[in-house]
Amino acid sequence: MFTSSAPRPRRLPGGRHSGDSSSGDSPSSRERGERAQQNLRMDFLMLLPGNRRVVLEVDGMQHYTRNGGSKPDSAKYAATMAGDRDLKFRGYEVFRFGHDELRDRDRAQLVVADFFRALLGRSLDRSS
């Protein structure tokens, strides 16, 4: 989950915040201070054309259980979902995959190819 003790950017005329670039990006880590990304963890971050920031997460049992996976933990799950919301409010697109979706290599290739085809809106070769 993303938390920061850095002050929130102040609103400027025209609805922009201090530190915003003309493209509408949020302030950089440098502008927000050294602790800005202290608790921010992503499995994968893709920086795409058009200022798209896509986060890919692969979730195993540790994201929603405790005691080595033996007991559900709704607080951990809630914290994960809160982190997703925070990233989305900051302009990131967040996509989660369950570990079991990617466990088998052949199935994972199909899942990932279908995902990127939908994300990027173009045909991807399934045979690679």
Whether 13 shows a pLDDT value over 50: the answer reads: no
Alpha helices in the chain (DSSP H): 29-32, 74-89, 99-102, 105-120
Kindly state the DSSP code that residue 25 receives in the 8-state scheme: P
Q: Would you say residue 85 has pLDDT above 90?
A: yes
Summarised one tens digit per residue, pLDDT across range 95-106 is 999 999 999 999
Please say whether the beta carbons of 111 and 95 come within 8 A: no
What predicted TM-score, i.e. pTM, was given to this entire model?
0.63
Question: Which one has a higher pLDDT value, 59 or 69?
Answer: 59
pLDDT reported for residue 63: 74
Average model confidence (pLDDT) across the chain: 75
